[in-house]
């Protein structure tokens, strides 16, 4: 699918994976609508072709308004990349007590239900566009994590949410096939995003040393490159692709 002269939605678009993907799509000629919390935009880099839209992915009305804006931009909405997500560290049972249920619920709400909400509402808009070759209309790329398969101690909420995203991939691809919409999921390993900004160099080096090859952290632009490849490759559908240097996470 040609990205040029199409509209795209990227959630979590103010930083990290989302910001890199939004910039890469704009460089390819897309008009990008980068969705994120209003508070996240203060430090966001400005890129030509990227419009920042304050949106909480857990709020269906806000998501619908953002989708309507993208769909009404004058260019066909063809692409959605869901990068919005949060992570916490808490054991189910520890010396401090049990895992906070509200925290578990919040992680599921943002990472899994937020992804589903954006996917569903955007798919409705994409399905109304004129079909391309093979009756294709667009693609949704979701973001899981290697934690979906190798969840570590303290990652019960995060791993459960990302396993849900991974499990959503195939049924979503099958559900949306009749509308000409592909669904593909990327499962990143340890990527050097703002979530690691407070980590000291020694710990960062230890994380990199655990990656079989190449022995370094992944980069957001590598995620963005893969996302663009998936958008342009029309026969990739219903698949979860690990982007992790063959890393398999240890228990802790």
pLDDT score of 198:
61
Mean pLDDT, rounded, of the chain = 95
- Asked if residue 76 is part of any domain, the answer here is yes
d(CA 204, CA 201): 5
pTM above 0.85, yes or no: yes
Domain coverage including residue 150:
7-242
- Asked if residue 175 is part of any domain, the answer here is yes
- Asked if residue 250 is part of any domain, the answer here is no
What stretch of H or E contains 33?
A: strand 31-36
Catalytic residues: 158
How much is the average pLDDT of 192-196?
77
CA 224 centroid distance within chain:
10
- Asked if residue 248 is part of any domain, the answer here is no
For residues 224, 227, 233 and 236, what is the CA-based torsion angle, rounded to 10 degrees?
150
Number of domains in the chain: 1
- pLDDT value at 125 more than 90: yes
- Asked if residue 247 is part of any domain, the answer here is no
Helix, strand and coil in the chain, % to nearest 5: 45, 20, 35
- Asked if residue 93 is part of any domain, the answer here is yes
- Asked if residue 160 is part of any domain, the answer here is yes
Looking up residue 172, the CATH number of its domain turns out to be: 3.40.50.720
pLDDT score of 66:
98
**pLDDT tens by residue, 131-175:** 999 999 999 999 999 999 999 999 999 999 999 999 999 999 999
């Amino acid at each position: 699918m040609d990205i040029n002269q199409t509209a795209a939605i990227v959630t979590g678009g103010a930083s990290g994976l989302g910001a890199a993907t939004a910039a890469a799509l704009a460089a390819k000629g897309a008009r990008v609508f980068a969705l994120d919390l209003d508070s996240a935009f203060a430090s966001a880099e400005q890129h030509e072709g990227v419009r920042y839209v304050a949106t909480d992915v857990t709020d269906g009305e806000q998501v619908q308004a953002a989708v309507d804006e993208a769909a009404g931009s004058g260019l066909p909405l063809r692409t959605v990349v869901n990068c919005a997500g949060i992570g916490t560290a808490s054991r189910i049972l520890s010396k401090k007590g049990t895992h906070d249920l509200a925290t578990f619920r919040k992680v599921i709400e943002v990472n899994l239900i937020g992804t589903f909400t954006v996917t569903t509402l955007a798919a409705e808009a994409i399905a109304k566009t004129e079909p391309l070759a093979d009756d294709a209309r667009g693609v949704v790329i979701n973001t899981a994590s290697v934690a979906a398969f190798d969840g570590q101690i303290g990652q019960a909420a995060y791993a459960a949410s990302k396993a849900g995203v991974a499990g959503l991939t195939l049924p979503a691809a099958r559900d949306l096939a009749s509308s000409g919409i592909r669904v593909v999921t990327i499962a990143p390993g340890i990527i050097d995003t703002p979530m690691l900004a407070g980590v000291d160099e020694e710990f960062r080096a230890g994380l990199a040393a655990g990656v079989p090859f190449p022995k370094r952290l992944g980069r957001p632009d590598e995620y963005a490159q893969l996302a663009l490849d998936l958008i342009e490759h029309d026969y990739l559908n219903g698949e979860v692709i690990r982007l992790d240097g063959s890393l398999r996470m240890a228990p802790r």
